[in-house]
Each structure stands twice: as C-alpha cells, then as structure tokens.
Amino acid sequence: MKRIEKTSFRLFHFLPFLCLLLANPACKNSDQPTNNKAFAVPVNISTELPWSERMALSIIKRSPEAWMNDFSKEPSWNYTHGLIMLSILRTWDASKKALYFDYVKSYADTMIYPDGSIRDYQLTEFNIDHVNPGKFLFGLYEETGQENYKTAISTLKHQLDWQPRTKDGGFWHKLRYPWQMWLDGLYMGAPFYAEYAMRNNEPALFDDIALQFTLMEQHARDPKTGLLYHGWDQSRSQRWSDPQTGLSPNFWGRAIGWYSMALVDALDFFPEGHPKRDTLIAVLRRTMEAVEKVQDPGSGMWYQVLDQPGREGNYLESTASCMFTYAMAKGVNNGYLDKHYKEVAEKAFAGILENVIRVDGSGEVHLENCCAVAGLGGNPYRDGSYEYYVSEPIRDNDPKGIAPFILASLELEKAAKSGTY
C-alpha cells in the first residue's frame, strides 16, 4: 500500500461544522457548572456488602468530590472519569442507594454547564477518548430530565458525525493521531454510539457501529493466536507500525480488554434482529477464545503483554484482568458466550481477589498492580515494543482497573442471584 499523503486530510472538510460550532451554545462556556459537592462515607466499610459496593464506597472515600478521581488536581472531562461514573451508576442500578446516583450526578454537574456545554472539552480535537464520559449521561438524563445533559450528549454525537476516518471508514483515534485505529478507541466511542442509536431510534447507525468493530478485527487480528494488536496505522508512517501491515508489534492486555468490554456493552443496544448483531457476537467469541488461551493457569489473571508470560519484566496486570473478567461474565449472562466462560471468569475473579486486592483496616478496598498508562506514538515517543509496555509505571487504584473491577463484580453478583453461575 502507498503511504497516504499527510496533506490528504483537509480542514475545509470541517468548515461547515466549525461554523456551526461557533453558533452552538453547547460548545461555549457560559455560567459556572451547578454543583461541586463532597461526599462522606462511613469510616469503616462493611465486609458484609458485595464487592461492587465495597469498591464503590472505597472510591468515594478516596475521592470525596467526584472530579478528584484519577488522582486529579482539578476537574477534567476525561475518559477515566467516565469509566468510574458509569461503574458507580451501575452500582446504583443494582442497589438503588441514593449515594451512588448523587455522586455520579455531582461529577456531571461539575462538568456540564447549565446551557449544556462541557467544561474542558474541545470537539475539534476529535479525540475519541472524550466521547466515553457521555455514556453515563444517558442514565442521568433518563432519571432527571435535565436538558443540559441531553445537549451535552448531542455535542458528543456531533463529534462522531465529523470524526475523521480511515479510507475504509474507521474512526481515527484522535486528530493528532491521523489514520490510526486503536483497540482502545472502540470502547471510547462504540457503546456511546450504540446507545445513542437505540435511544434516538436511528437504526441505520448500527451498520456503522458494527463496521468499526469488524474493521478493527480485520486489520488487527493475528491469524496464528487470534489476539489483536494494539494499533493499526493505515498510512504506515509511524515508527511503531509494520511497513507491510501497519500494525503495532505486541499484544497489550488492556488494549484487548477495552475491545472486549466495548463488544459486550455495544451489544446491549443492538436490535435482536439486526443482521450485524450475530457478526459482533462471533467477533466476541473469537476474541474470548484467544484470551482464554493466554490466561495464567496458576493465578487466573493475565499478563501485561499477553503472550510472553515468562519474559523478564512481564507481570500479572490488574486492569486487563478485571476487563476480561467483566467481558466474560457479562457475555455469559447475556447469552453471547458459552457457559464454559463462567468458570474462566470465576477463576479470574478469585485470582484478582487473592493476588491484587488489598483490604485495609477500615475496610477500604485497594487494587494493586495496575499499569498506569500506555499508548503509541506521541512525545516522548512510544514505540509499542515489549520493553516499552513493561516499563510504564505501575500503581494502585488506577481507575482503569477499579471501575472494571466493579463492573465484573456486578455481573458475577447478578449471575449469583439469578442462578446463572
């Protein structure tokens, strides 16, 4: 394939929409957001509660103002905050305890202005990560009817309408990462896109949503292992990309975790009779089959670089392990996966509890061994090598682990109540 000319992406493609942005109050700052509230939880968190609530309460205890999550010093519209808020909103769905709903709403009311514009958000960055926090706004709008939430949702949908694409129709990960699709991006955009399509009765959008998944699998799936490479560069211009395939060189656990969670979450909204629904279920099954093969037989967890467990520097990584546990448990609960995966999910969750969960004297729950961050390209440059992935910082209580831990717990708790497990 020829290298794609960098000049082939033209700003004038976006000029009509940029004019719309200048006239659209959803993209301007106005009055201050309506809330900035601190929450208190009991000093001692009861061990009688389910794991989902124990972790949710621990999060609130560590970050009494919701914007403080992800070790933040000031409020920001961030995909990690969106992930935390979604997990706590689902905890509210399961428990109906007002504390959880109010905590999530407090973040929304810190970040969403009365006119619906979003604090610290720039649509024209076309950063697909910034769509992810929109997912929890659907539930808030349904429960409260606040129009500013609906306006913010519409703004994020407008971003997807104008998101730059690869030549075969895949969303770029960010404007500053041209011609690139990353596995991460499927989680950031597709479930929001699918819920929007369902709630707004726009069935034609489901074909485009399915296309994002199938393109990613088509480009990134390794025929030998069935695992998916982290990123694909259509232009082959990045140093991390293979000159023949455009692929990054390694199977990073969390990247495939994002993709797996995206599949089970987007499928929530696909109509039963949609022809692409079975296609996505098949993609999920292929992905989970490959993931199961690289599960550590001793701990039940997964390694940072999935297929190289014995290599120096590799380690059992918590965020990916929680993500896979969630995807498998939900896949079984919803009938997408064979019940065999209940055993895989149970083994993984038991391994997480045994190896990386720490409960302190007050009952606060901590998740250890989380990869803090990883990506491709950028400055300093991230080359996607094995050495790169195992060199990134490891920390406790990363939101990319504690939120999927809650989601996995909720699915296992749901299964226990229903008798699925």
Please list the active-site residues.
184
Is 238 within 8 Å of 377 (Cβ atoms)? yes
Single out the residue of 313, 349, 315 nearest to residue 330, CA to CA. Answer: 349
Is 133 within 8 Å of 76 (Cβ atoms)? no
- For 40, 145, 381, the CA distances from 63, given in Å and listed in that order, are 9, 27, 32
Single out the residue of 151, 89, 90, 160 nearest to residue 116, CA to CA. Answer: 151
- Say how far apart CA 382 and CA 374 lie, in whole Å: 8
